[in-house]
Amino acid sequence: MKLTSLLRAMLTRSFRPFLFESDGDPVLEYGDAERLGLYVHIPFCRSICGFCPYCKTVYEKERSRRYLEALLAEIRRVGEMGKGRREVTSLYFGGGTPALMADELGLITGELKRWFDIGGQIGAELHPEDVTVETLEKLKAAGVTMLSIGIQSFQRDSLERLGRTEPPAKAIAKALRQVPFESVSMDLIFALPGQTADRLKEDIRTAFELGADQIAAYPFIDFTFADNEYRPVPEREKKRMLREITDYCRELGCVRTSVWTFGKPGKPKYSSMTREQFLGFGPSAATLLSDQFKINTFDLESYIARTAAEDLPTALTLRFTGRQRMIYHLFWEAYTTEVDPDNFQRLFARRLEDCFGWELILCRLLGLAKKEPKKDRPGHVYRMTGRGAYYYHFIEQYYTLSYIDRMWNVLGREPFPKELRM
Ligand SMILES: C[S@@+](CC[C@H](N)C(=O)[O-])C[C@H]1O[C@@H](n2cnc3c(N)ncnc32)[C@H](O)[C@@H]1O
Ligand code: SF4
């Protein structure tokens, strides 16, 4: 039995696998969902990077025009199912490269605002080449307040291995000064072959100097369906690099805002992954509600055809058992490095300690988490330690390779698979 299956069986106290089926509900019930977030996927890039697992295709004007129509139709269709205007906590544009549709993002946010009150931030992912005054002004006009820039590295040899060119550092800094946003995050990839801790620190320092408020340091993941000519470095090396990143970011006065991100205190954090419930639009976008997880087809033409027929473009649906849903929630809340028992109580009407008593004791005994009083209110939280963050990284990679890799691989080949057991 694989480690992830064993862990899943222990935590869900059942050998029942996660069963993703093709026969999703034709109607989405999200009328009572609290703290709902929105995600919109823009599946276009100028060119394709071999290492990247995301759903994307090379940008063509005519295709993006047809995509826009389909996306607006999906938003309308889902919006109508919400039974009245809904408050949402955030909106993230991910990709692909959302800035390639910078001219259309205003139309998309406009359609979303017909159905949703977007209370919080609006974030968008950018390729370094998108960081120009002209594009940033368009994003701002569309309501975007936060940016995430896919730098990956400033080092020529690391970039060459990734098949990327050097980010135009000076132009990025200048454009960000001229068109400021509430928060700017920069993605860096670590644990690339040949990359040293000193080079990585140099990258982190450069990112902050160019105007980042946060960095996201992702360990390099070798997806089975990606086109990588090199293998990841051994776990021991990865662990050492992670410790160096953590210590260095602290030295720079940053706080850990999640397992992968470090930011300047007081700045809004860019985190598209940590919402309790969310609605996703576009190919490959996922939706998470109180009883189910759904993922849209990855195939752009199938997506366009489904939405034109006024059907939901869902490829697979997982209907959670109660305990599976709790685990899913805790996994992603733990990603923020803090688990708040009050959130658990609000979502499941049960005490966290009653449902996961021995697991919490074990985490504390193993030095993975500490119980701490809340800073601003009565009550307590479970805070992940540095050791806990490393093991979370480790499990997250296992999870990515066992679940996400497999699911995305299947969905990349079949627009609507019959079922998937994991
Ligand atoms: C959708 S991309 C970012 C936006 C933009 N398209 C770009 O490439 O600059 C999201 C991020 O995922 C990370 N990523 C992609 N493939 C990865 C891999 N194989 N291992 C680790 N991180 C990866 C990269 O840091 C990337 O910036
Ligand atoms: S890393 Fe970014 S630019 Fe490269 S293929 Fe992936 S989404 Fe596109």
What's the average pLDDT block by block, 10 residues per block, for the chain (422 residues)?
A: 65 74 84 89 96 96 98 96 90 96 98 95 97 98 97 94 94 98 96 91 97 95 87 85 93 92 90 84 96 96 95 94 91 91 94 95 95 89 92 84 91 94 86
Query: The dihedral of CA 331, 333, 337, 342: what is its sign?
Result: negative
End-to-end C-alpha distance for the chain, whole angstroms: 12
What is the token pair recorded at 312?
């939901």
Pocket test for ligand 2, best of 47, 56, 152, 153 (most atoms within 8 A of CB): 56
CA of 315 to the centre of ligand 1 (A): 23
Strand-pair category, 44-45 with 116-118: unpaired
| Cβ of 54 below 6 Å from ligand 1 | yes
> Which residue is closest in CA terms to ligand 1's atom 16?
52
- Ligand 1 atom nearest to 152, measured from its CA: 25
Question: Which-ligand-closest: CA of 203?
Answer: 1
What is the token pair recorded at 178?
């001229």
- Ligand 2 atom nearest to 52, measured from its CA: 6
- Ligand 2 atom nearest to 95, measured from its CA: 7
pLDDT of residue 180: 97
> Which residue is closest in CA terms to ligand 2's atom 4?
49
pLDDT of residue 110: 97
- Ligand 2 atom nearest to 152, measured from its CA: 1
> Which residue is closest in CA terms to ligand 1's atom 10?
150
Residue appearing with tokens 């823009």: 42
| Cβ of 127 below 6 Å from ligand 1 | yes
Q: Which is nearest to 204 in space by CA: 162, 257, 246?
A: 246
Does the model's pTM come out above 0.85? yes
- Ligand 1 atom nearest to 228, measured from its CA: 19
CA of 190 to the centre of ligand 1 (A): 12
User: What tens digit of pLDDT does each residue of 97-130 get?
Assistant: 999 999 999 999 999 999 999 989 999 999 999 9
Distance CA 226, CA 60 (A): 22
Distance CA 416, CA 405 (A): 17
Strand partners, 129: none
CA of 95 to the centre of ligand 1 (A): 9
pLDDT of residue 420: 92
- In SS3 terms, the chain reads as CCHHHHHHHHHHCCCCCCEEECCCCCCCCCCCCCCEEEEEEECEECCCCCCCCCCCEECCHHHHHHHHHHHHHHHHHHHHCCCCCEEECEEEEEECCHHHHHHHHHHHHHHHHHHEEECCCEEEEECHHHCCHHHHHHHHHCCCCEEEEEEECCCHHHHHHHCCCCCCHHHHHHHHHHCCCCEEEEEEEECCCCCCHHHHHHHHHHHHHHCCCEEEEEECCCCCCCCCCCCCCCHHHHHHHHHHHHHHHHHCCCEECCCCEEECCCCCCCCCCCCCEEEEECCCCEEECCCEEEEECCCHHHHHHHHHCCCCCEEEEEECCHHHHHHHHHHHHHCCCEECHHHHHHHHCCCHHHHCHHHHHHHHHCCCEEEEECCCCCCEEEEECHHHHHHHHHHHHHHHHHHHHHHHHHHHHCCCCCEEEC
Distance CA 3, CA 398 (A): 8
> Which residue is closest in CA terms to ligand 1's atom 25?
187
CA of 139 to the centre of ligand 2 (A): 19
Contact 254, 261 (CB under 8 A): no
Distance CA 352, CA 327 (A): 11
Question: Which-ligand-closest: CA of 55?
Answer: 2
Distance CA 307, CA 78 (A): 11
pLDDT of residue 401: 85
CA of 124 to the centre of ligand 2 (A): 14
- Which amino acid would we find at residue 330? L
Contact 254, 263 (CB under 8 A): yes
User: What tens digit of pLDDT does each residue of 245-273 get?
Assistant: 999 999 999 999 888 899 999 888 888 76
